[in-house]
Every structure is written in structure tokens, then in C-alpha cells.
Amino acid sequence: MSAPARSGVVVAIDGPSGSGKSSTSRGVATRLGLRYLDTGAMYRALTWWMLRHDVDVADPGCVAARCGEPAIVAGTDPTAPTITVDGADVATAIRTPEVTGAVSQVSAVPEVRARLLRLQREVIAEALQGPGIVVEGRDIGATVAPDADVKVYLTADAAARARRRSAEEGGSDVTATETSLLARDRIDSTRAASPLTMADGAVHLDTTPYPLDEVVDRIVGMVEAAS
């Protein structure tokens, strides 16, 4: 894809599950009047579709053969982000344990990543005609938007990440959640296609000791300094 004419800013926020990417990214986008894209929701949406259509998510060939079928649309309002598959709202459905347990397998398939990469860059290109966008995921600074104006890599210790995710899930077992998060880290960091990694030029920010507002303040300051 050729580079779009730029009039806005792109902020890339990467990191493992539970590091605070979503809350931070939405906070930064809201503060700065930018659009917001949750790329993880797109992978979850495709995974949900695969499970609903009885595709064997453990078979990369089966996943690759069908990954181009569903229409996936991610809304970019940071105050009310949406995700639809074939016109149906799946914002709640994609957060089930079943989808969570399968999304890393689906995400590791190169054809899946290539298809969603194209969709993600289309969203970014459209947002660049306005003020810009905050994009969160696991390969944004390295692959999706390597020329982003600001790149941030968020981390937090495993226990803190598990507590946050447990709270988001309404009080799930923290120990089991931590085990699941670490398993996802291993898959996401070792996959052949766009592994989870800190991009060149990214600022590493460990969110463990900081409240959300302070993390948002720090990143807003980075964006303002880069403008």
C-alpha cells in the first residue's frame, strides 16, 4: 500500500494482553480528539466468525482458506468503539472465553494477518485525512504503522495484568487468568508472522505502578512534543 497524504498524527500503542492498551489508547484518543482503532478486536471478530462457522482453528490451512469471507468493520469513536461482522454487532460476543482461547491460533496464520493488515491500513489512511488516530495492538509500530509519529510499548507485570483482566471479566479467577495471559504471550511472541515485539523507536512504559490517568498524561505529552 502506498503511503497516504498525511494531515494527521498516528500513535502506535503495542503490548501484551492486560498491559492497559485499550484503556490507555482510548484515553489518549479522547484527550487529543483522535480516532481510535482496536486491532485486537478485529482478530477476535474473525476468530468468532471461524468458531461460529465450525472452522477448525487449530488447522492453519482451514483458517487461511476462509479468512477472506467475513466483512469486518471496526468503528473508530474512542468513546464508543464498535466492531461488526457481516453487519452484526459482536462487541460482547468476541470477549467470551471460547474466543479468548482461540484468538492466538487464528492470529498466527499469515493469511489472516495479511488480510487484517490491509483493513487496518485503510482505516489509518482515512483517519489521516483528519486529526489522526491512536492504534493499539501487538504489531502496530513494527508492522501496521512503522512510520507512526509516536510509538509506545506498554508492559506490566503478570500479576497486575491478571488482576486487571480479571476485573474486566467480572471477577474471573486471577491465577487462571495469569496462566492464560502468559500462554498467550508465548504464542504471540514466537509466531512467525508479525510477532509481538517492541518496535524500533518505541518508548517502553511499564504501567504497573501508575494509575491510568498518569499513563495517559505521559503519552499525550509525547504526542504533543512530536507535533
pLDDT in tens, 178-206: 777 777 767 676 666 666 778 899 999 99
Residue 14 lies in a domain: yes
CATH number at residue 169: 3.40.50.300
Helix (H) or strand (E) holding 39: helix 39-52
- Its sign, for the CA torsion 86, 180, 219, 14, is negative
Q: How far is CA 135 from CA 22, 70, 80, 124, 138, in A?
A: 9, 22, 15, 8, 10
Residue 209 sits in which domain range? 9-226
Residue 3 lies in a domain: no
- The per-residue pLDDT for range 24-45, each reduced to its tens digit, is 999 999 999 999 999 999 999 9
User: How many independent structural domains does the chain possess?
Assistant: 1
Note the residue count of the chain: 227
Helix (H) or strand (E) holding 223: helix 212-226
Look at 69-78, 79-88, 209-218 and tell me which has the smallest mean pLDDT. Answer: 209-218
pTM of the model: 0.85
What are the cell numbers at 151? 510509538
Contacts by residues 163-168 (CB-CB < 8 Å, ≥ 24 positions apart) = 164/18, 164/20, 165/17, 165/18
Residue 4 lies in a domain: no
